[in-house]
Amino acid sequence: LMAEKGGYRHFMLKEIHEQPRAVRDTIAGRLLENEGDVYLEDLKFSDQQLAAVRRIVIVACGTSWHAALVGKFYIEGYCRIPVEIDIASEFRYRNPVIDGTTLVMVISQSGETADTLAALREAKSRGAMNMAICNVLDSSIAREAAGVIYTHAGPEIGVASTKAFVTQLTALYLFTIRLGRAVRAIDVPAGQSMIASLKKVPALLEEALKLNADTERIARKYMNARDFLYLGRGKNFPIALEGALKLKEISYIHAEGYPAGEMKHGPIALIDEEMPVVMLVPENSAFEKTLSNMEEVIARNGRVIALCSEGDQEVKGRAEDTIEIPRIDEDLDPFLLSVPLQLLAYHIAVLKGTDVDQPRNLAKSVTVE
């Protein structure tokens, strides 16, 4: 069994370490560097069809839903087409407003999640354009969607999704380039620079994996906390949600993700000297604002674990613990922030002695509605 796990103690740890490879495989063969465009072999929409899209609705569950929330920033930011995100089990029961100019995208690692499959069928029955981002070849969702972008994460065994998530982010970024080129929101040089940024991700994920020892030390220090708060802004807010979800899933510690600027409207009441607050504060356009949110936590004696950019001194001088992530175009910070958050949850779970790969009450793929 150790061999099956590639020498790692758990599938989850193996899969965390496979992320550089998984992202590389998801990019491989798809970059058209001269054209500043990408080739998505199973997407099959013409530029004219994509140019007719007025609105995009992305529907998913769990970790895939968090990827969708990041995707909204990519697509709206670059393509200027409105994007809505919905949870699959909500979407199908609310008589959604969709027509032939709506593109409904479902995201599912397994391709078998019952609510997500039902959402896809609902979209199709209303005549929406439709597509899927999917990891499992020939799964129900992949077969039924009009277009597919396969992620090439490889089989994911650990119930808590890790490598599938970063490949979903990769697929969303690739889709953004393709759509942006098709609707002429992204020109050749802009497409080329997005490709250049994306190509840096696998090597920087490898760098981020070196944070394993640091993360384990921090895990040991905070493993007995009863609650955790995860705060981030913009495209890192979904990463805060995902970090909190990872911790809940495998360590059974209560954790909440919140937009950092919204903390003052509720969660700030929870902060005391016992409360670890994981702050996602890389150097980006929201840096100063997020830093002042961090100060608000410190002023209430909260214990800040800050994920900041490599070499950042401002954060380092103030947070109780820091984890420095490699620098990259800020759009791609979500990839690099994900790694230490996965490792933090993993190490806390191992220290608590839970069943990391098969956490209680959870299933890898939920095929009931």
| Interface ranges with ligand G6P (CB under 6 A) | 61-64, 108-110, 113, 116, 159-161, 362, 364-366
- The residue (of 52 and 366) whose beta carbon lies closer to ligand G6P is 366
CB of 134 to ligand G6P, least distance (A): 8
> 322-342: buried (b, 16+ CB within 10 Å) or exposed (e) per residue?
bbbbbbbebbbbbbbbbbbbb
CA distance 352 to 347: 8
CB of 72 to ligand G6P, least distance (A): 17
CB of 137 to ligand G6P, least distance (A): 13
Q: How many CB atoms lie within 10 A of CB 4?
A: 10
- The residue (of 161 and 251) whose beta carbon lies closer to ligand G6P is 161
Which residue number is nearest to ligand G6P in terms of Cβ? Answer: 62
CA distance 151 to 140: 15
CA distance 112 to 127: 22
Half-sphere exposure of 100 (CA within 13 A, CB side): 2
Longest dimension (CA), the chain: 57
CB of 273 to ligand G6P, least distance (A): 33
- The residue (of 116 and 236) whose beta carbon lies closer to ligand G6P is 116
- CA–chain centroid gap for 369, Å, is 23
Residue owning tokens 């027509």: 99
**Please, what is the Cα angle at 314 between 309 and 317, to 5 degrees?**
110
CB of 251 to ligand G6P, least distance (A): 15
Residues annotated as catalytic (active site), given as ranges: 364
- The residue (of 19 and 109) whose beta carbon lies closer to ligand G6P is 109
Q: Residue 84, class by beta-carbon neighbours within 10 Å (0-12 exposed, 13-18 middle, 19+ buried)?
A: middle
Half-sphere exposure of 350 (CA within 13 A, CB side): 17
- The residue (of 52 and 114) whose beta carbon lies closer to ligand G6P is 114
